[in-house]
Chain A
Amino acid sequence: MAAIVKVDNVRKTYEGGFEALKGVSLDIEEGEILALLGPNGAGKTTLISTICGITVPTSGAITVGEFDVENDYREARRLIGLVPQEINLEPFEHVQNTVRLSRGLFGKARNDAIVESVLRDLSLWDKRASKIVALSGGMKRRVLIAKALAHEPRVLFLDEPTAGVDVELRKDMWTLVERLREEGVTIILTTHYIEEAEAIADRIGVINNGEILLVEKKDALMARMGQKEMRIELAEPLDAIPEALSGYNLQRAENGCRLIYTYDTAAERTGITRLLNDLQASGLVLRDMQTSQSSLEDIFVGLVRESA
């Protein structure tokens, strides 16, 4: 698939000299969901703002749908919808009017049917005549999403869309994101909830200190970096790991009642069959066995710590 957003060696130095982006390059493929992970201050919002034209890059080039975001900003921006991290809404405006306004700003003729369907999708239709001030925080966030979708963008940026949103609503948002993807919308979201990235992203990018540490397919990432553990419960505790098993990466746990075998899921051979045979040969009796995969969170924490 072709890249719909191309970020090429973008640097951003804020007034005052702080370099928030240190040569970021990133290709976002059409139709994918990319999750950007990174600690506070990593540069996620700066990167998104630079693509959307709110901040001006110090150097480097960005195209959206082949259009340069500076020279062909009209064509580029028409393709983009942005849900900002901060809840920025005019307090005394009505929900439906503010969504119509967004559609107009992006150069589209008024279309109440589209506005209605966007509001219904976000369970805001009942609130269409309410003033923004009268909405709860979660509703305001949905109004922001509705505004971003009002002009039917091809690329949607969601900057921490689920911050401060309850579990129920978060699931609803994931469903919405999934449906948008089915319609062919490319989605870039930032989040601090790693399980969110794990649940909905196709690819994961990790950014820290203004640098992209990696961008990879979620599954490949988990497979490449994911270590699996096999816990083996023994019928009788072991004082030490027998000589015959010393060639395996085994650890004793819970006073020898349990053995933990760590292996790489991506390796040619995991060694499990051989280990089981050798366990039997050593005369050990197994009570139970269980495997678990390290989560994206472990990977993420490891990466960020390494780069710090």
Chain B
Amino acid sequence: MNWYGIIAIWRFEMARFFRSIIQSIVSPVVSTSLYFVVFGAAIGSRIPEVEGVSYGAFIVPGLIMLSVLQQAIQNAAFGIYFPKFIGTIFEVLSAPLSAFEIVIGYVGAAAVKALMIGLIILVTSFFFVDITIAYPFWMIAFLILTCVSFAMLGFILGIWAKSFEQLNLVPLLVVTPLVFLGGSFYSISMLPPVWQTISLFNPVLYLVSGFRWSFFGMADVPVVASLVAVFGFTALCMGIVWWIFRTGYRLKS
């Protein structure tokens, strides 16, 4: 293993994050606070408890997932797209690094950033609502797996994208709707039966459900299904990344 190489990529990526540390932290904190004010306080006061949990607390796991998914995808996508765009990728491609090592560097950095933001949002939410975490170990496990798998998705997106528009389009048109429709702000039992069935095809539902279970011990889908979904998604992304490097897809001519 070329550890120095992996660390070099990882530190370079983290440095970019810390260069704009204020933006990196302030913006998720502000937007989360807004969600709490609007959904938790204004609208939530008129919504009864969801399965014994106050609505304000109920949305915390979904809110964290929303930001974590966006951050993981964005950071990883940008991290690999930008060097491709300005041409500095040549150095990584000509270095004695295996595909696996390159992925650990880029995806690892994006996942750590997303994880940090997820934890910051969790801490922020303590100021607004009372929550206790039922299964802290599983909470962290779900969070880390989500960060890693969606950072990998972002990495794939960054390699696939040929323009900044494409880079922004996928998160906007695909990921955000999936998160909103994935039960972030409601339990799918609140939906009409048809939509409940449709929701079961949304992979994000399994993430949010499992994550919420780790907080409150209740879930829309069985926890095992959530775990299988997270691992399955991670494996799928790994497979695609492996194929990209094997074929040099959009990386090497």
A-B interface pairs (CB < 8 A), number: 79
Q: Please name all residues of chain A whose beta carbon is closer than 8 Å to the beta carbon of B88 when the two chains form the complex.
A: 88-90
The answer to whether B96 and A106 touch across the interface, beta carbons within 8 angstroms, is yes
The answer to whether B248 and A56 touch across the interface, beta carbons within 8 angstroms, is yes
Extra 20 A-B pairs, beta carbons < 8 Å, given A14-B253, A84-B90, A93-B12: A55-B252, A55-B253, A56-B252, A56-B253, A78-B96, A88-B86, A88-B88, A88-B90, A90-B83, A100-B8, A101-B12, A103-B4, A103-B8, A104-B5, A105-B4, A105-B5, A105-B95, A106-B96, A107-B5, A110-B4
Bound: A100/B96 CA distance, A: 16
- The 7 residue pairs across chains A and B that have the minimum distance between CB atoms: A104-B8, A88-B87, A105-B95, A74-B96, A77-B96, A107-B2, A52-B94
User: In the complex, which residue of chain A has the Cβ closest to the Cβ of B94?
Assistant: A52
Q: Please name all residues of chain B whose beta carbon is closer than 8 Å to the beta carbon of A14 when the two chains form the complex.
A: 253
The answer to whether B90 and A82 touch across the interface, beta carbons within 8 angstroms, is yes
Given contacts A88-B87, A88-B88, A90-B88, is CB(A109)–CB(B94) below 8 Å?
no
Bound: A93/B95 CA distance, A: 19
| B165 at interface by CB-CB < 8 Å | no
Bound: A102/B96 CA distance, A: 11
User: In the complex, which residue of chain A has the Cβ closest to the Cβ of B9?
Assistant: A105
Shortest beta-carbon distance from A168 to chain B in Å? 27
The answer to whether A53 and B5 touch across the interface, beta carbons within 8 angstroms, is no
The answer to whether B252 and A54 touch across the interface, beta carbons within 8 angstroms, is yes
| B92 at interface by CB-CB < 8 Å | yes
The answer to whether B95 and A77 touch across the interface, beta carbons within 8 angstroms, is yes
Given contacts A54-B90, A88-B87, is CB(A104)–CB(B96) below 8 Å?
no
Bound: A82/B97 CA distance, A: 15
| B7 at interface by CB-CB < 8 Å | yes
Q: Of A73, A84, A92, A110, which one neighbours B96 at CB under 8 angstroms? A: A73
| B19 at interface by CB-CB < 8 Å | yes
Q: Please name all residues of chain A whose beta carbon is closer than 8 Å to the beta carbon of B141 when the two chains form the complex.
A: none
User: In the complex, which residue of chain A has the Cβ closest to the Cβ of B3?
Assistant: A107
For chain B, residues 65 to 118, give those with C-beta under 8 angstroms from any C-beta of chain A: 83, 86-88, 90-98
For chain A, residues 84 to 132, give those with C-beta under 8 angstroms from any C-beta of chain B: 84, 86, 88-93, 97, 100-110
User: In the complex, which residue of chain B has the Cβ closest to the Cβ of A46?
Assistant: B253
User: In the complex, which residue of chain B has the Cβ closest to the Cβ of A76?
Assistant: B96
Residues of B whose CB lies within 8 Å of any CB of A are 2-5, 7-9, 11-12, 15, 19, 83, 86-88, 90-98, 248, 252-253
The answer to whether A80 and B5 touch across the interface, beta carbons within 8 angstroms, is no
Q: Of B7, B86, B98, which one neighbours A104 at CB under 8 angstroms? A: B7
Shortest beta-carbon distance from B62 to chain A in Å? 35
Q: 6 A-B Cβ contacts within 8 A?
A: A73-B96, A88-B87, A105-B4, A105-B92, A106-B4, A109-B4
Bound: A92/B12 CA distance, A: 11
The answer to whether A53 and B4 touch across the interface, beta carbons within 8 angstroms, is no
Bound: A82/B88 CA distance, A: 12
Contact with B along A148-177 (1 / 0, CB 8 A): 000000000000000000000000000000
Given contacts A55-B252, A56-B252, A105-B9, is CB(A74)–CB(B90) below 8 Å?
no
User: In the complex, which residue of chain B has the Cβ closest to the Cβ of A53?
Assistant: B94
Bound: A77/B3 CA distance, A: 16
Q: Please name all residues of chain B whose beta carbon is closer than 8 Å to the beta carbon of A92 when the two chains form the complex.
A: 19
User: In the complex, which residue of chain A has the Cβ closest to the Cβ of B15?
Assistant: A97
Q: Please name all residues of chain A whose beta carbon is closer than 8 Å to the beta carbon of B4 when the two chains form the complex.
A: 103-110
